[in-house]
Amino acid sequence: MAEKPKVIEKPDVLERPDILKPQAPAPLVAFPIEVVVPEGRQQTPAVGQRASRADGRLHGLGQTKYIDDMYFPNMLFAKIKRAGIASARIKNIDTKEAEAMPGVVAVITGRDIPCNSFGPSLKDQPVLADTRVFHAGDGVAAVAAVSEQIATEALEKIKVDYEVLTPVLDPLESLKLETPGVHAPSANIYGHKVIKKGDVEKAFAESDHVFEGTFRTQMVEHVPLEPYACIAQWDANGRVTIYSTLGRITLGRADVARTLGIPMSRIRIVATVVGGNFGGKNEIRAEPAMALLSKKTGRPVKCVFTRSEEFTSSTTRHPLIMDYKTGVTKQGKILGRKIRLVLDGGAYCSWSETTLGKACILSAGPYNIENLYAEAFVVYTNKTMTGAMRGFGAPQVCFAYESHMDDIAKALGIDPLEIRLLNAFDEGSLSPTSQKLHSVVVKESLLRAAKRFGWNGIGDGVGNGNGA
Amino acid sequence: MKRRGRGMACMWYPIGFTVAANPSAAVVKVNEDGTATLLTGTVETGQGSLTILAQITAQELGIATDDVHVVSADTDATPMDTGAIASRTTYVTGNAARMAAEKAKLTLFEVAAPLLGVKPTQLEAQDHKIFVKGFPQRNMHIGDVANHARVVSGQPPIGSASFNPETLALDPETGQGKPFGTYVYATQIAEVDVDDETGEVEVIRVVASHDCGTAINPMLVEGQVEGGVAMGVGFALEEEMLFDAQGRHINPNLTNYIMPTSLDTPDIEVDIVDSYDPTGPFGAKGVGEPTLVPTAAAIANAIYDAVGVRITSLPATAEKVCKALQAKREQQPKQIGTGAALDGAASINTAVQ
């Protein structure tokens, strides 16, 4: 039986453009809000449900309070003067003119910080630079004023006398022993790790082919929607409450206690809803300086980084220089791999030790490699400090080991999927540190992705890399 | 002319971090109506971790996600936590939350046992009820038990617990040891178009197969993967902090530091690989960071597949790809007849045709 053709009703053209009609103003949000809770949140068992987020409604209605939305009576606004020079000795800081400005309530420098150093492993980072500038984003003074504008203007009135020094910018240069120390007398190499397994040279000798490659990655920022922000409020009992964008309040409180020299019981840190972290908010920034400005003025003090400060004065991703050498059989089985990683550690250690460790352990890839030598160095340079960022060195080494893998596959004429399946970890495989791995599904992920994508081998006319 | 290419990359990534211990603690209080409050020192950074922790707590108590209110990130009120870092919240804080909820549940079982005429070990919590294993009709509403616990038994159901992944310090000489509790695995395959005249790369599609152990909330896993891939596209093609000869950052703004917008984000197909980790809460591991790990590698391999140039330094900007294409064209006549130079290892990028 022939199907009846569908009658498509012509839309009423005159009635359609609703947008042209005058719109009633959007109703104000009524309290209490009638909560229409989505199904997933109300169902049991809870695990496995596509439950919506409790904070989603508040985000959607614009009711989430970020630090920039928070206000306390008598609150002051702080700005930090940045050095703008990568390496320098501070000879003098003159804050008199700034302090005399109407609307400026207090100015502090690094000399006002009771213990002017912090860091998750090495305590090499000053809250405000006092005698030395190690990168252009270093803060040298902080101003609290009745408005953000006055605080910004006051920064111009602070006169800093610098003795400019030659910066060390290239990590490979920094690695050399003759290069002057960024943090002299400390050495430029501030972290080193080795993972050693089997005999890599013997493996190369037994290999049918040995491949080499050098790969580099760049410095990038986390670029969260919400830049770093905090409000400090010192009370008459000598107790300070800090609202902060911190992702790690337990560590943050310890750092604030250390830098201010006060007991932890006198510090309350409240981490507000954070508008993106990605690893960039895992240690304190201006909290101690804001606490001292609040103590000095007896008023709450707020500091919100500009986008530019978020780039230059917060942590970033480590650039890596990665040398790979891999010995394989004709069939593509990896017999040995030698790796050298150099991490540009920037001006301060921050989370470099964790990044160094993860990068080094992960650098061989998810592959069974019996003979491995991976060595990693992290060095100081006079650049923005590098620290935790989503992946802790893994995206960098993955770029290297997977590019290298495709080069090997191409040279041997093996499909990229095949060579990976041939070498990938299985349940119970030993990792580069000889840890017995469990719930290993790397092969499953390869096969599932290939199936979903429609991967059907190389040289099927889709691109195929000949560029012709 | 636009040329299409495909490239894959797989990865492994640990949950939690090495160097030092990374514990989390949690407190669970069951209210008199059978709802609950979880206290945790971790921070919601936009990833939805508090929802995951509520789901884990709810699962252990046999109630719904919506019944759990999470109080977080106040050093005065919440227990210590290593923080929202290292893809560890679901695994480490999740284990602590589950164990704390279990302790509160055991108090509820102690209270309910005499009322149901069985031993506490014979009880189970599910679907807002505490019932006798194998005899679901012999049950009490969790709210009635919790109320009885406070008003009659004088045993308010509160549990606290902490969890630290079991690790073994690495040997300083050889780096051998057990640095992490568990790992996740993933593969991403990218499809790109490369303009062989301008060097511009457009990522068309990314298939992302990720292992996260049990997906406590598949929707939030998908969100993490989509966000990670977008971040990976920026890392692969555009983003770079540039410094002048004096070491000053010259593009500290979003006009000159180029990031992908929603228009640059490819079609992302998220695939969750079935897996179960017995050491995680209800088999869960984590997913936050790994989502961006293989993206740049997959894109770089896809560029090679499309136009035959190996990008060895990121980002693969149009200028860089264009230059590499020019260099390849200039080299090409010399390459004719040389064949595959397999042992000229460093030159395989261009030598193999």
DSSP track, A167-214: PP--HHHHHSTTSPPTTTTS-SEEEEEEEEES-HHHHHHH-SEEEEEE
Closest alpha carbon within chain B to A386? B241
User: Token digits for A350?
Assistant: 């921050």
One domain for residues B196 and B330:
yes
pLDDT at B110 over 60: yes
Q: Is B81 on the interface with A (CB under 8 A)?
A: yes
Which pLDDT belongs to residue B334?
56
**A407 and B310: CB-CB below 8 Å?**
yes
Task: From B163, B189, B216, give the residue that closes a domain.
Answer: B163
- Give SS3 for B228: helix
**B218 and A50: CB-CB below 8 Å?**
yes
Helices assigned H by DSSP within chain B = 49-61, 94-116, 142-148, 218-237, 295-307, 318-335, 348-351
User: Which domain CATH number covers B301?
Assistant: 3.30.365.10
Domain ranges of chain A: 75-164, 181-220+316-453, 229-312
Confidence band of B17 (pLDDT split at 50, 70, 90) = confident
Beta bridge partners, B100, equal none
Cis peptide before A32 (omega within 30 of 0): yes
Which pLDDT belongs to residue A372?
98
Residue with tokens 């293989």: B294
Q: Is A198 on the interface with B (CB under 8 A)?
A: no
Closest alpha carbon within chain B to A45? B59
One domain for residues B31 and B6:
no
**B328 and A47: CB-CB below 8 Å?**
no
- Is-contact A320 A397, C-beta < 8 A? yes
Q: Is residue B231 part of a domain?
A: yes
Q: Is residue B156 part of a domain?
A: yes
- Rounded to a whole number, what is the distance in Å from the CA of A104 to chain B's nearest CA? 27
Q: Which of B15, B47, B85 to mutate to test the interface with A (most CBs of A within 10 A)?
A: B85
Q: Which residues of B touch A409 (CB under 8 A)?
A: none
Identify which of A148, A129, A130 has the alpha carbon closest to the alpha carbon of residue A139: A129
Confidence band of B16 (pLDDT split at 50, 70, 90) = confident
Q: Which residues of B touch A135 (CB under 8 A)?
A: 247
Confidence band of B345 (pLDDT split at 50, 70, 90) = very low
Identify which of A427, A179, A222, A8 has the alpha carbon closest to the alpha carbon of residue B292: A222
Identify which of B305, B289, B287, B211 has the alpha carbon closest to the alpha carbon of residue A443: B211
Q: What is the CATH number of domain A181-220+316-453?
A: 3.30.365.10
Q: Is residue B215 part of a domain?
A: yes
* Phi and psi based region of residue A459 (left: phi greater than 0; alpha: psi -120 to 50; beta: remaining): left
One domain for residues B155 and B247:
no
Which pLDDT belongs to residue B348?
40
User: Token digits for B249?
Assistant: 């950052």
Q: Which residues of A touch B2 (CB under 8 A)?
A: none
Closest alpha carbon within chain B to A196? B174
Which pLDDT belongs to residue B166?
87
Q: Which of A433, A437, A440, A455 to mutate to test the interface with B (most CBs of B within 10 A)?
A: A433
Task: From B133, B163, B193, give the residue that closes a domain.
Answer: B163
Identify which of B187, B40, B5 has the alpha carbon closest to the alpha carbon of residue A425: B187
Nearest CB to B308 within list A44, A431, A466? A466
One domain for residues B122 and B261:
no
DSSP secondary structure, B145-199, as one string? HHHHIIIII----EEEEEE----BPPPTTT--SB--SEEEEEEEEEEEEEETTT-
One domain for residues B194 and B300:
yes
- What is the strand order of the sheet A267-271 is part of? A104-109, A139-145, A76-82, A301-304, A229-234, A240-244, A267-271
Q: Is residue B85 part of a domain?
A: yes
Q: Is B266 on the interface with A (CB under 8 A)?
A: no
Q: What is the CATH number of domain A75-164?
A: 3.90.1170.50
Which pLDDT belongs to residue B351?
34
A449 membership: H or E segment, kind and range: helix A442-453
Q: Using CA atoms, how far apart are residues B196 and A460, in angstroms rounded to an integer?
A: 20
Q: Is A290 on the interface with B (CB under 8 A)?
A: no
Identical topology for domains A181-220+316-453 and A229-312: yes
One domain for residues B192 and B264:
yes
**A406 and B7: CB-CB below 8 Å?**
yes
Closest alpha carbon within chain A to B250? A312
Boundaries of domain holding B221 = 2-13+181-351
Which pLDDT belongs to residue A400?
98
Q: Record the pTM.
A: 0.92
Q: Is residue B169 part of a domain?
A: no
Angle at B62 between CA A48 and CA B35, to 5 degrees: 110
**B54 and A442: CB-CB below 8 Å?**
no
The helix-helix angle for B218-237 and B295-307 (nearest 10°) equals 50
**A48 and B218: CB-CB below 8 Å?**
yes
- What are residue B139's phi and psi, to 5 degrees? -145, 165
Residues of B tagged active-site: 289
- What are residue A343's phi and psi, to 5 degrees? -100, 130
Kindly provide the residue ranges of all beta strands, DSSP E only, lying in A221-266, ordered along the sequence: 229-234, 240-244
**B252 and A406: CB-CB below 8 Å?**
no
Q: Which of B45, B184, B303 to mutate to test the interface with A (most CBs of A within 10 A)?
A: B45
CA B76 → CA A234, A239, B39, B141, B163, distances in Å?
A: 15, 12, 11, 33, 20
Tell me how many domains chain B contains: 2
Q: Is residue B173 part of a domain?
A: no
One domain for residues B95 and B239:
no
Q: Which option is the CATH number for A229-312: 1.10.10.10, 3.30.365.10, 3.10.450.50, 2.40.420.20?
A: 3.30.365.10
Q: Using CA atoms, how far apart are residues B95 and B97, in angstroms rounded to an integer?
A: 5
The distance from CA B168 to its chain's CA centroid, rounded to whole angstroms, is 23
- Rounded to a whole number, what is the distance in Å from the CA of B140 to chain A's nearest CA? 16
One domain for residues B6 and B153:
no
Closest alpha carbon within chain B to A169? B247
Q: Is A216 on the interface with B (CB under 8 A)?
A: yes
Q: Using CA atoms, how far apart are residues A46 and A59, in angstroms rounded to an integer?
A: 23
Q: Using CA atoms, how far apart are residues A120 and A352, in angstroms rounded to an integer?
A: 9
Q: Which residues of B touch A307 (CB under 8 A)?
A: 252-254
Which pLDDT belongs to residue A29?
62
- What are residue A36's phi and psi, to 5 degrees? -95, 95
Angle at A303 between CA A300 and CA A309, to 5 degrees: 170
Q: Is residue B174 part of a domain?
A: no
The CB density around residue B274, as the number of other CB atoms within 10 Å, is 11
Q: Using CA atoms, how far apart are residues B297 and B316, in angstroms rounded to an integer?
A: 11
Closest alpha carbon within chain B to A136? B248
Mean pLDDT within B67-80: 97
- What are residue A187's phi and psi, to 5 degrees? -75, 155
- Rounded to a whole number, what is the distance in Å from the CA of A42 to chain B's nearest CA? 5
- What are residue B335's phi and psi, to 5 degrees? -80, -20
Q: Which residues of B touch A52 (CB under 8 A)?
A: 51, 219
- What are residue A398's phi and psi, to 5 degrees? -65, -40
DSSP secondary structure, B232-264, as one string? HHHHHHT----B-TTS-BS--STTTS----GGG
Size of interface A-B (CB pairs under 8 A): 449
Cis peptide before A11 (omega within 30 of 0): no
A219 membership: H or E segment, kind and range: none
Q: Is B253 on the interface with A (CB under 8 A)?
A: yes
Q: pLDDT tens-digit profile of B202-221? A: 999 999 999 999 999 999 99
* 63-82 in chain A: CB under 8 A from chain B: none
Q: Which residues of B touch A270 (CB under 8 A)?
A: 73-76
Q: Using CA atoms, how far apart are residues A259 and A267, in angstroms rounded to an integer?
A: 12
Q: Is residue B203 part of a domain?
A: yes
Q: Using CA atoms, how far apart are residues A433 and B179, in angstroms rounded to an integer?
A: 8
Q: Using CA atoms, how far apart are residues A237 and A257, in angstroms rounded to an integer?
A: 16
**A438 and B182: CB-CB below 8 Å?**
yes
**A273 and B208: CB-CB below 8 Å?**
no
One domain for residues B189 and B331:
yes
A443 membership: H or E segment, kind and range: helix A442-453
- Give SS3 for A63: coil
Which pLDDT belongs to residue A4?
56
| Residue-by-residue pLDDT tens, chain A, 468 positions | 455 555 555 444 445 445 555 566 666 666 666 666 558 999 999 999 999 998 998 999 999 999 999 999 999 999 999 999 999 999 999 999 999 999 999 999 999 999 999 999 999 999 999 999 999 999 999 999 999 999 999 999 999 999 999 999 999 999 999 999 999 999 999 999 999 999 999 999 999 999 999 999 999 999 999 999 999 999 999 999 999 999 999 999 999 999 999 999 999 999 998 899 999 999 999 999 999 999 999 999 999 999 999 999 999 999 999 999 999 999 999 999 999 999 999 999 999 999 999 999 999 999 999 999 999 999 999 999 999 999 999 999 999 999 999 999 999 999 999 999 999 999 999 999 999 999 999 999 999 999 999 998 754 444 444 432
**B301 and A312: CB-CB below 8 Å?**
no
Give the pairing type, strands A267-271 and A240-244.
parallel
The torsion defined by the Cα of B340, B344, B350 and B353, in degrees rounded to 10, comes to 0
**B216 and A47: CB-CB below 8 Å?**
yes
Task: From B163, B192, B211, give the residue that closes a domain.
Answer: B163
CA A453 → CA A445, A456, B6, B151, B208, distances in Å?
A: 12, 9, 10, 59, 9
Beta bridge partners, A339, equal A324, A374
Which pLDDT belongs to residue B239?
98
- Rounded to a whole number, what is the distance in Å from the CA of A287 to chain B's nearest CA? 15
Identify which of B250, B241, B293, B314 has the alpha carbon closest to the alpha carbon of residue A219: B241
User: Token digits for B204?
Assistant: 């068309």
One domain for residues B189 and B127:
no
Residues 6+ apart with CB under 8 A from B84: A247, A248, A274, A277, B42, B43, B44, B45, B47, B49
Which pLDDT belongs to residue B128?
97
